Structure 1
Amino acid sequence: MFIGGAWREASDGRTIDVLDPATEQLVAQVPNASDADLDDALAAAAAGFEVWRRTPPADRAEVLDRAGRLLIERSSAIAAVLTEEQGKPVAEAEAEVRQSAEYLSWFAGEAVRSYGRLLPTGPGHRAWVERRPIGPVAAFTAWNFPASLPARKLAPAVAYGCSIIVCPAIEAPRTAAGLVRALADAGVPDGVVNLVTGDPPRVSERLIGSGAIAKVTLTGSVPVGQTLVRLSAERLQPLTLELGGHAPVLVFDDLSDEQLGRTADAVVRAKFRNAGQVCISPSRIFVQRSMVDDFVAAVIERVDGLEIGPLANARRREAVAELVHSSRAKVHCGGVKPDGPGFFYPPTVLTDLPADAAVLRDEPFGPIMPILPFDGLEDGIAQANAVPYGLAAYVFTADLQRADVAVAGLEAGMIGVNEVALASAASPFGGVKLSGYGREGGTESLEAYTVATAVTTKGAP
């Protein structure tokens, strides 16, 4: 753990095991923070905030820029740790670390752009609105992107003058330590950035229940998000919640054969990246009825022989297997757990699903691709919106007018038209409905990590 500028073990010596999901072997033990450790982190964050809030934005920018460059230099080493504890292929891990560096570098530029505004007044008066850092932040992240999720919270918090305590998912905690080390080596003052590992319910209750935390941010599941909302209600801490998704894809029948092939390429690539453990992963594929058979054939051709990494843990593999088993669907490929060690599950394509199949209601978060028909634009939008989630959605069509109507009708925080790459440092990331609220990434992060303070002055009383 990193608390108050020092690396340390748990004060009572307790640890938590970290397994390699590809081998199921123990690869590390990390501290299981005691209440005393968490209290130390809270005190460090409070002291760090008092220093950092007064640090000139240009100095904050320099620290973030240096940290981003250090991440690039260390990307191979950090990616190796990421793969070992989370399971994604090395190429995906290296790309994630580079994306994390992009967040730090991009927000280095934003640190000096936290503009306020002047208000029109009469003679003898002045009035303005300024953005002030919100205060110490408690940040909780999921295991599926153990580098970029912490980076998405660290970068704006540090840029805008907040201190932060990061609590990474216990399945993959060491990657976040690589980010924190880069920031420490780049010169962030003691207490500004802190890292704790431990039992998530106990850690979140201790941090949020304290009087030191001014802001809570979570990337995680809907049940965890609902728990944090309840925990934060007593002190009314504002939250940014990026929760689950169940992203629909609408594939329209105006595509040429060549365009259909490129669409299948994009959907397969996005669906099975990180073994489908991506919150914005295409997870309900709706194809206009006249093209369903052609699209299924194109997908099967691309999935055949595709190799993906393991799921993160045994619980996830069992959940995926149960969704496939209970779907009562036609299984075109995959659908059987392989023998041998590791939490692997093959890419699985389903059709002919009954309307009540659990995989159409519950986020699969795994390598399952259900493909269903739709009849016309109105029917497609209705099916796409028929879940309580609204994180991401995708549209593939050669008709831009049709795309505009689909985009207007889809209930999602992020929408891709003929494109599956939605996340970037410059773009706000977040959803609607049960997918959460608030945004991280882009200039919208200013709202999440600062408060607007209105000042009005006049001459002598």
Structure 2
Amino acid sequence: MTDPVSLITSRNPTDPSDVVLRTPAPGAFAVADAVERARAAQSDWLHDGAAARSAALGAVATAIEAAGAELAALAVREVGKPLTEARAEVARTVAIWRYYAQAPYEPAGAVHEPAAGPGLLLTRRRPYGVAGLITPWNFPFAIPSWKAAPALAAGNAVVLKPAPEATACAVRLAEIVQQALPAGVFTVLPGAATEGNALVSAADVVSFTGSTTVGRTVARAATARGVPVQAEMGGLNAALVLPDADIAQAAAHIAASIAGYAGQKCTATSRVIAVGAALDPLREALCEALRAVPVGDPADPATVAGPLIDQRARDQVTDAWHGLDAPAGATVPDGPGWYAPPTLVEKVPAGHRLLNAEVFGPIAALLPADDLAHAVRITNSVPYGLVTSVHTTDLNAALGGLDGLDTGMIRINAPSTGVDFHLPFGGNKASSHGPREQGRAALEFYTSSRTITLSPVGTT
């Protein structure tokens, strides 16, 4: 039996007439077959041992590094990532695989004394089997890698379903990774909702990054099967600026977090909360910084903000600022690309979408706050809780803000964007479901803990 054939089409957001890749979607039955092949390959992959897995992951890192220029150019073409950011993502991807190449040698458990009598009590972490990964288009190499590398290091096999918009990047990544791994251990299947649903229905452990609506559906489906699941979803991130902050530095950081990659990051800044006397100087500095953002062809190394991923994404951004007071907006190029200017808006009415939902574009609302406590309440008032940046030279204020903020990540005097792959990544409330990913937290997520009792023969 076969599924009806549908096509996955990926277009260049700078020139939508440029079709990067068109391929048939494999369908649900193909996903189930891929999971079974992965399950058959997983046992040998685990039993080959730590040295073999470490060497294979290290070889992946070396191969990605060798293909770095090609991969960066592909990210520019397929997802409109500015070249400088694309190069940085590829470098980060190499570092991720190298980091997890050492993980097979990490302790897989601990030894404990029994409560009474001779013997040993052990804990041991073991892989689940097949990790089903569903990834977005905005980090087409880094996010699949920071999910796949720890899953593989722990002894799982992987089946990856990338976002349709990043299919070419995922297929090329698979070609590189598969050269270093046994057959069946790492599989990429293009597709959309049908393939994603099938993967959630078949995998032994599921990791998802994408929209809140889809993430909640994935979490419910996996939980109903009793399968471990993590879902990284939206963000409505705030930057808090106190009157004592270095306003020029804060404005530079915030402008980069609003406009970088056209705001298409879950960690982008979408609310700027100015405390007290910081409002007027911050508005002036931030408007100046946003107007100076280079918007244009992502293949130009000087570009900071390229196009939105598609027409729907651009319409969503332009609809969001319609009718609002916009003191600053950068100039966008003429041409066929889906561009939107990095924009700051003010006097946003309560209940407006910008204050309740992730727009995923280069737009942010400037909001006044009476004091730090008020700023923290504004920050916490939204459904999301991914990352908050706090800009101040007052250590006491920074620590006070840390205690009150309901977000998974807090960055002091730094942009909201940019995370360290060796530390846990994730948020609170609607931003995340399940355990954190990245770092050692990822190794724990992709393994289950066994408690083992070893008693000498003849004891009771």
- TM-score of the aligned structures, taking structure 2 as reference length: 0.93
Which of 249, 267, 281 pairs up with 2:268?
Answer: 281
Which of 183, 207, 225 pairs up with 1:217?
Answer: 207
Q: Name the residue aligned to 1:245.
A: 235
- Asked if the contact 2:250/2:413 (under 8 Å) is kept, the reply is yes
3-state DSSP of counterpart to 1:444: helix
Which of 79, 104, 108 pairs up with 2:97?
Answer: 104
Distance 1:356 1:11, change over 3 A: closer
Structure 2 counterparts to residues 135-214 of structure 1, below 5 A = 135-186=129-180, 188-198=181-191, 200-210=192-202, 213-214=203-204
Deviations 1:67-106 (CA, angstroms, capped at 9, x unpaired): 1121111111011111111011111111111111111111
3-state DSSP of counterpart to 1:171: helix
Q: Does 1:227 align with 2:227?
A: no
Deviations 1:97-138 (CA, angstroms, capped at 9, x unpaired): 111111111111222114311111244211100110122011
Cα displacement (A) at 1:339? 5.2
- Asked if the contact 1:151/1:179 (under 8 Å) is kept, the reply is no
Cα displacement (A) at 1:14? 4.9
- Asked if the contact 2:290/2:330 (under 8 Å) is kept, the reply is no
In 2, the alpha carbon distance for the partners of 1:305 and 1:230 equals: 44
Cα displacement (A) at 1:336? 9.1
Which of 64, 78, 82 pairs up with 2:75?
Answer: 82
In 2, the alpha carbon distance for the partners of 1:61 and 1:424 equals: 21
Percent of residue pairs identical: 31
3-state DSSP of counterpart to 1:53: helix
In 2, the alpha carbon distance for the partners of 1:249 and 1:30 equals: 41
3-state DSSP of counterpart to 1:52: helix
Which of 410, 421, 424 pairs up with 1:425?
Answer: 421
Which of 16, 41, 49 pairs up with 2:42?
Answer: 49
Cα displacement (A) at 1:152? 1.1
Which of 109, 115, 124 pairs up with 2:118?
Answer: 124
Q: Name the residue aligned to 2:248.
A: 261
Q: Name the residue aligned to 1:444.
A: 441
Q: Name the residue aligned to 2:278.
A: 291
In 2, the alpha carbon distance for the partners of 1:12 and 1:67 equals: 35
In 1, the alpha carbon distance for the partners of 2:424 and 2:367 equals: 30
In 1, the alpha carbon distance for the partners of 2:266 and 2:352 equals: 20
Which of 372, 376, 387 pairs up with 2:367?
Answer: 372
- Asked if the contact 1:250/1:285 (under 8 Å) is kept, the reply is yes
Structure 2 unmatched runs, 5+: 296-304
Distance 1:95 1:337, change over 3 A: closer
Question: Given residue 311 of structure 1, which amino acid in structure 2 is its aligned partner?
Answer: L
Deviations 1:364-408 (CA, angstroms, capped at 9, x unpaired): 210102111111111010000000111111111001111011011
Deviations 1:5-37 (CA, angstroms, capped at 9, x unpaired): xxxxx9987532111111112222123113332
Q: Name the residue aligned to 1:6.
A: none
In 2, the alpha carbon distance for the partners of 1:352 and 1:372 equals: 7
Distance 1:423 1:114, change over 3 A: farther
3-state DSSP of counterpart to 2:306: coil
- Asked if the contact 1:53/1:162 (under 8 Å) is kept, the reply is yes
Distance 1:86 1:453, change over 3 A: same
- Asked if the contact 1:55/1:161 (under 8 Å) is kept, the reply is no
Which of 15, 38, 41 pairs up with 2:7?
Answer: 15
3-state DSSP of counterpart to 1:130: strand
In 2, the alpha carbon distance for the partners of 1:422 and 1:235 equals: 34
Deviations 1:310-329 (CA, angstroms, capped at 9, x unpaired): 0001111111111111xx43
- Asked if the contact 1:414/1:422 (under 8 Å) is kept, the reply is no
- Count of equivalent residues: 443
In 2, the alpha carbon distance for the partners of 1:444 and 1:39 equals: 28
Cα displacement (A) at 1:204? 2.1
In 2, the alpha carbon distance for the partners of 1:133 and 1:398 equals: 45
Question: Given residue 417 of structure 1, which amino acid in structure 2 is its aligned partner?
Answer: I
Distance 1:179 1:28, change over 3 A: closer
- Asked if the contact 1:144/1:277 (under 8 Å) is kept, the reply is yes
Q: Name the residue aligned to 2:307.
A: 310
In 1, the alpha carbon distance for the partners of 2:207 and 2:221 equals: 13
Greater Cα shift, 271-280 or 110-119: 110-119
Greater Cα shift, 229-238 or 243-252: 229-238
3-state DSSP of counterpart to 1:68: helix
Which of 350, 356, 372 pairs up with 1:355?
Answer: 350
In 2, the alpha carbon distance for the partners of 1:124 and 1:291 equals: 67
Q: Does 1:134 align with 2:124?
A: no
In 2, the alpha carbon distance for the partners of 1:43 and 1:357 equals: 47
3-state DSSP of counterpart to 1:128: strand
Cα displacement (A) at 1:361? 1.0
- Asked if the contact 1:114/1:160 (under 8 Å) is kept, the reply is no
Which of 313, 316, 328 pairs up with 1:319?
Answer: 316
3-state DSSP of counterpart to 1:455: strand
Cα displacement (A) at 1:332? 1.5
3-state DSSP of counterpart to 1:345: coil
- TM-score of the aligned structures, taking structure 1 as reference length: 0.92
3-state DSSP of counterpart to 1:262: helix
- Asked if the contact 2:392/2:398 (under 8 Å) is kept, the reply is yes
